[in-house]
Structure 1
Amino acid sequence: MARHCQGHIAQCLGGILAHRGGATVAVGSGGHRLSGAEFVDGVRRLAAGLVERGVRPGDVVAVVAFNSIEYVELFLAVALVGAIIAPLNYRWSFEEAAQALELVQPTAFVFDGVFSSWALRLTEGSKFSSIGLYLILGDACGAGHAANFDHIKRSVRESTAIEPVSAPRDVALICFTSGTTGRPKGVAISHTSLIIQSLAKIAIVGYGEDDVYLHTAPLCHIGGISSCMAILMAGGCHVLMPKFDAKSAFDAIKEHGVTSFITVPAIMADLLSYARKERVPGPVMTVTKILNGGGGLSDELRNGASQLFPHAAIFSAYGMTEACSSLTFMAINKPKHQEPNSQPSSHSGGVCVGKPAPHVEIQIGMDANNTSSSPTGNILTRGLHTMVGYWGDNKVDSSDCLRNGWLDTGDTGWMDKAGNLWLMGRQKGRIKTGGENVYPEEVELVLSQHPGVARVMVVGIPDSRLGEKVIACVSIRDGWKWVDARAEHQGKGNEVSPKILQDHCRLKNLSRFKVPRSYYQWRQPFPVTSTGKIRREELKREILATMQIPSNL
């Protein structure tokens, strides 16, 4: 049963209309601009049109599209009428998307012109009979019997305020995980979670109505959606490009005076690479806030970002889809207020990812089998930010994911006396060698600090004596030479060899049992998810196949 709710993401519309009605709040492709009043009017008209076409509270509305103003309008319109939006990753194949659609059984399917063929294929079979409404974004001609987005808005005679309605269990969004360990899961996120995540970003990063925010992340990911929601609540201006590329990003920054955006390491690397190759006039002075997630920035990326964006406060965030994005935040570069020791620190005990946001509880849970004196354990979190549960059989199931309100993040770490969280690595990626636990991320951090290493991945492979043996797959930087010579080779100049990397690990005080026994030059791209996270098990299978070692994966 749907209910009227005090906490609802569409309540931001009132603030936008009251305080930003005459100001530009959205800029789309081709420089199309909407004032606050125009934006709110569009959302309300679309919401009314959805109701007229049978969308009801609790219904799931699936969407596959590139970033656009219409996407943001749809996000709020669906929420306004108490339905649940389920964004599909546009990088998926149709078959992967079909699996997600089977899981959520939507009553409406929304798409932009690029994905018209998907809509046609969905209508051909009986598997998706739950879909009663097909809607194409923008003013493009509908595919088959698809309704037109702009036509629906124009067909509503009058834009009136609609009282926000919530779906059962307060669910606003089904966001799919990026699937590093298998088939993506549908994570049910509540209105409350989105609101308090937005408030955390506003309080810590400092978003406000003067911000011009560039959408670098896709709206199908929790990082993109949660940051979009924060800017909506803060009353800032959204600049939307269909999908990220460095040239378009720099063009938008220059044209619209962009002040803030989010990155993952791959996005930051692309920005810095483009700036160097194209000799982008720098430094870029308008940008004042950068939030990085999806993995830490290397020293090289962090220093490059500070030089290119000298006025930007750069923050790092650690989080996950199941926690509605960011759990902890850390300022890694504050211009003019830089403390001598405020750079993110790392040592053999992991990587510091900062302090929990005000609404977040974090606890280190010890495994029942852990008899060591180490403070390391499973990272657990509790609070209103956690997911309602996983979506399945047209309902939310939280029985296996929340225990006494605590969500197991799947990561391992420890807390220091100052309240900082130190991240060791994924529980499932842990290597058991000679009775000792090795976290690949910890070893990768040390190896990545060698100047000749561009990227490195560490895995464990079967070993008759140790159980598992630690090995490293290394991608070297341009201008460096890999010398796959005998172990005692010392190297000279810009050379990298197994011996050099072993010595580097020991110089960095990495415990002996954590130092990789073997090193391989990796010449091809590492297998990654759509968000740039390594598919470690897939990489492991490739290594085992190359080495002709039997695998039970």
Structure 2
Amino acid sequence: MLTCIPMQSLEEAKSAMEVARPVLLVTDSSSGYWHSRFGIDCVPSLRWHVLMDSPVKANDTGTIFATELLKKPTGRSVTLDYLWAPERAAIICFTSGTTGRPKGATISHSAVVVQSLAKIAIVRYDEDDVYLHTAPLCHIGGISSAMAMLMAGGCHVIIPKFEANLASEAIREHLVTSLITVPTMMADIICVNRINQRSENFESVKKILNGGGGLSVELIKEATKIFPRAILHSAYGMTEACSSLTFMTLYNPTQENLCKHPFDVKISNLSRQGGICVGKPAPHVDLRVSAEESSNCGRILMRGPHAMLHYWGQSPSKHWNPVHEGWLDTGDIGQIDDHGNLWLVGRAKDRIKSGGENIYPEEVEGVLSQHPGISRIVVVGVPDSRLTEMVIGCVQLKTVGDGLILVLITYQKTTSSVYPPTSSGTFVGKRT
């Protein structure tokens, strides 16, 4: 099964179909316009098109209306012999394409099952759960959590697409007990309920799994006010891993230490602890950091039954480097502390080479964003004849003034001593 995102452009969807060569296209009213665009001439492999609820009139014999099909009397029952093929392809999920054209990560049946079991064990989904589908079912995060809830036997609440108002009403109406979020979703739910001045909170919610980026301390604190009874988990993962690699608990109202001190992580004895802690590997995941002898920081490698088979249409040997002996390179940089926590430093492709040092933008951003005078910050590398690349910080200041600029330069030098200062001490500020 190939999953396509309705928000994709027609060119992106066509590109994915040209790679996967599907024979059947299923759409609903939200993407009914694809019917007229994706004919046999456009995608030669297509033979049928199923319209679930679209009023679009069909002009070819290959179109099937699901509503009409359901009205037809059932024919003679056919007995089928089902075969278990755990290592065969189940889903093709296309990545976002940050390194060029989107690639189809091919996920096996066993990977889906293993990932579902991990979520059941860690998030503790069960048959009493009422699960709200906030993530689209064409996204690996939405697919893996939906499959976990199916295996657990819980109830599913489906909304057409995520909107904070719609999700909030669904939680209240159906007494939702579990959902997944990304930071933007959490921020939107908090904002909408603050604007609407709804005094009640979502006490029915007991389990929240956040992915797609870390929650800030401020968001965690606000989330615990709206979801006071929910255990807040966070996961780090990727499409190629069939979703989550690591998990950690950010807040647990039943545990005093995680109630009073959200995001309580034991500090490592490593000489330099950089990056963002994303927790410990799931039981089925093997993680390893391929680092140089002089550093604890390196490329994050993974292996296990959750890992993708290959990118559709490409040889597996391109992704499992023989040097790493069967380990899949995530493309991320990090380190593992002596408590087993993985610390994510940044993407390998975003690394800045400056003055002979490897500098990761996320690490510098993490340090500077802690200053109360900074609203937002983005760190980039620009070409420099002396340093190879110069580190530049683009900041959005809460207030603008020469005094604050000097304070920020001093703050950067005192808190980022692991890197030698560059020849540039310029900050470009903008008032929020």
Q: TM-score, normalised by structure 1?
A: 0.71
8 Å CA contact 1:319, 1:327 repeated in 2: yes
Match of 2:392 among 467, 471, 475: 471
Which amino acid letter does the alignment assign opposite residue 95 of structure 1? Answer: E
Q: Number of paired residues?
A: 418
**Structure 1 partner of 2:43:** 128
**Structure 2 partner of 1:448:** 369
Deviation string 1:386-429 (CA, Å, 9 cap, x unpaired) is 0000002xxx6312112432110001111111111111111111
Counterpart mapping for 1:316-465 below 5 A: 316-339=234-257, 343-345=263-265, 348-366=273-291, 370=292, 372-392=293-313, 397-403=315-321, 404-465=325-386
CA distance in 2, matches of 1:162, 1:278: 54
1:119 and 2:44 aligned: no
In 2 relative to 1, CA 435–448 (structure 1 residues): closer, same or farther, beyond 3 Å?
A: same
Give the CA deviation at 1:505: 3.2
Higher mean C-alpha displacement, 457-466 vs 396-405: 396-405
8 Å CA contact 1:141, 1:148 repeated in 2: no
Task: State, as a whole percentage, how many aligned pairs show the same letter.
Answer: 48
Give the CA deviation at 1:512: 4.1
1:511 and 2:431 aligned: no
Give the CA deviation at 1:304: 0.6
8 Å CA contact 1:438, 1:514 repeated in 2: no
CA distance in 2, matches of 1:356, 1:269: 26
SS in 2 for 1:129: coil
CA distance in 1, matches of 2:421, 2:280: 27
Which amino acid letter does the alignment assign opposite residue 418 of structure 1? Answer: H
SS in 1 for 2:240: helix
1:144 and 2:59 aligned: yes
8 Å CA contact 1:344, 1:353 repeated in 2: no
Give the CA deviation at 1:189: 0.2
Deviation string 1:34-89 (CA, Å, 9 cap, x unpaired) is xxxxxxxxxxxxxxxxxxxxxxxxxxxxxxxxxxxxxxxxxxxxxxxxxxx11112
In 2 relative to 1, CA 454–294 (structure 1 residues): closer, same or farther, beyond 3 Å?
A: farther
**Structure 2 partner of 1:490:** 403
CA distance in 2, matches of 1:168, 1:423: 31
Which amino acid letter does the alignment assign opposite residue 253 of structure 1? Answer: I
Give the CA deviation at 1:503: 3.5
Higher mean C-alpha displacement, 157-166 vs 110-119: 157-166
Give the CA deviation at 1:139: 6.5
Task: Compute the RMSD of aligned alpha carbons.
Answer: 2.5
Higher mean C-alpha displacement, 300-309 vs 130-139: 130-139
Which amino acid letter does the alignment assign opposite residue 193 of structure 2? Answer: A
SS in 1 for 2:377: strand
8 Å CA contact 2:183, 2:210 repeated in 1: yes
Give the CA deviation at 1:151: 2.8
1:87 and 2:3 aligned: yes
CA distance in 1, matches of 2:411, 2:31: 49
CA distance in 1, matches of 2:375, 2:240: 30
SS in 2 for 1:520: coil
SS in 1 for 2:33: helix
Deviation string 1:184-204 (CA, Å, 9 cap, x unpaired) is 110000010010000000000
**Structure 1 partner of 2:23:** 107
Deviation string 1:468-527 (CA, Å, 9 cap, x unpaired) is 111122345xxx3334xxxxx223xxxxx4x34333434545534378844334799xxx
**Structure 1 partner of 2:130:** 212
Which amino acid letter does the alignment assign opposite residue 230 of structure 1? Answer: A
Which amino acid letter does the alignment assign opposite residue 146 of structure 2? Answer: C
Unaligned runs of 5+ in 1: 1-84, 484-488, 492-496, 525-553
Give the CA deviation at 1:322: 0.4
SS in 1 for 2:74: coil
**Structure 1 partner of 2:202:** 284
Q: TM-score, normalised by structure 2?
A: 0.90
Which amino acid letter does the alignment assign opposite residue 336 of structure 1? Answer: T
